Amino acid sequence: MKKIYNPDKTTWLEVLKRPTQTVADIENTVLNVFDKVKSEGDIAINEFTQKFDGVLLDEILVSVEEIEEAKNIISEELKEAIGLAKSNIETFHAAQKTSKISVETVDGVSCWQEKRPIQKVGLYIPGGTAPLFSTILMLAIPANLAGCQEIVLCSPPNKEGKINLAILYTANLCGVTKICKVGGIQAVAGMTFGTKSIPQVYKIFGPGNQFVTVAKQLATKFGVAIDMPAGPSELLVVADDNANAAFVASDLLSQAEHGKDSQVIMVTTSKKMIDGVEQEIEKQLEILPRKDIARIAIENSKLIYVENDELALDLINEYGPEHFIVCVKNEDFYINNIANAGSVFIGDYTPESAGDYASGTNHTLPTNGYAKQYSGVNLDSFMKSMTFQKISAKGIQNIGTAIELMAEAEGLQAHKNAVTLRLESLKKG
């Protein structure tokens, strides 16, 4: 990891630069896939699956038999673990439900807001070397709590044309209505345009590599909403002399093993901690099965020393981390003043892994600095707020003149007339 001491504020943008490609670097590849899927449907999906995943499928949709096989093979211990996580995630997200908000703004003018579920949602679940079945819990559970009617899941198949058994089991457990063996750009394109096998959806959720992230962003050009730009995983830990170097290193490595383009950063007010964490990373890295992936990610990562907590916080807010771990004596300073972070983990015994799996919070979070303006996935992500108003005769008399004056000032005579006609009819009795 690169060690940086007291970086000048003028260099922060460069110091905190992420190892990701831009939309422009990937856009042409994504648009080519989109065009082909839009015009050729399942034929194009199968061609791209063969090209990118190395398998020619007979059927895109997962069968009932495959789901039953997963239920029978998954160990009882893993089922219990998934069940515990499911319960905690349901508890946290169910608590986010809000009731109808109703108010009478003036006598005779009633306004209210109600929430309605997004009817059709698509979930993208990465497969490959790290099949993220935990992401299904994070997406399908709030989708069901919200009342979404159709929940479509896409995940890439392996070389045998199968989807990971834990993904199938969890998807079935969480009420996914259709599971498709398709990954990458073509999965996002399929959910954007719809094919014979893949339903078109109104909003797409889920993390992925840089190609999936750009595909989601470009899907918005075709009338589909997305949860957020969620690309390669990232973590920032703030630590001082009170932190446990072994714990900090384990957290940094837990994110580094996600992928070669992941980034982890430690910001610290302790030079001693930099040396301790660096040593622990090398020690722990050697025993990781995914050490080759983690080592490349570590090369893109940094250990940054600053002189005080105020500078550290400014640097962290400038970065806007997806995951933010606080391991300092004065933790309240960071908790109360952090402005830009997807999810915050506090204290020695709150590893980021807890939020990834079983604490109850959602792990689908904004990356690449988007924590400055995006929330992580929550119950409201699967809902829309709709406003209603009902105005009585008394109410239109109370606000009618104001509407007429404002409409006329904007030069919108028909708007004014819609009110004038009503007011005149009331005068006539």
Q: State the catalytic residue, choosing from 93, 258, 323, 363.
A: 323
Q: Which residues have CB under 8 Å from 186's CB, separation 6+?
A: 33, 37, 44, 45, 48, 49, 52
Q: How far apart are CA 371 and CA 373, in angstroms?
A: 5
Long-range contacts from 86-91, C-beta under 8 angstroms, 24+ separation: 86/137, 86/141, 86/173, 86/174, 88/358, 88/359, 88/360, 89/137, 89/138, 89/141, 89/358, 89/360, 89/362, 90/141, 90/145, 91/360
How is residue 195 written in tokens?
A: 């094919």
How big is the chain, counted in residues? 429
Specify which residues 153 forms β-bridges with: 123, 179
Instruction: Work out whether the CA dihedral 420, 421, 423, 427 comes out positive or negative.
Output: positive
Q: State the catalytic residue, choosing from 257, 322, 352, 363.
A: 322
Mode of pairing for the β-strands spanning 150-155 and 178-181: parallel
Q: Which DSSP category does 152 fall into?
A: E
Q: Which residues have CB under 8 Å from 47's CB, separation 6+?
A: 36, 40
323 counts as catalytic:
yes
Rounded (5°) CA angle 72-73-76: 85
Q: Which DSSP category does 61 fall into?
A: B
Write the single-letter amino acid at 146. A
Alpha helices (H) in 184-244, listed in sequence order: 184-193, 210-219
Question: If residue 103 lies in a helix (H) or strand (E), which one and from where to where?
Answer: strand 101-106
The DSSP annotation for 24-42 comes to HHHHHHHHHHHHHHHHHTH
Alpha helices (H) in 198-345, listed in sequence order: 210-219, 245-256, 271-285, 291-299, 309-319, 331-337
Q: Which of 76, 33, 24, 382 is nearest to 184 (CA)?
A: 33
104 counts as catalytic:
no
Q: How far apart are CA 381 and CA 143, in angstroms?
A: 9
Mode of pairing for the β-strands spanning 109-117 and 101-106: antiparallel
The catalytic residue positions are: 322-323
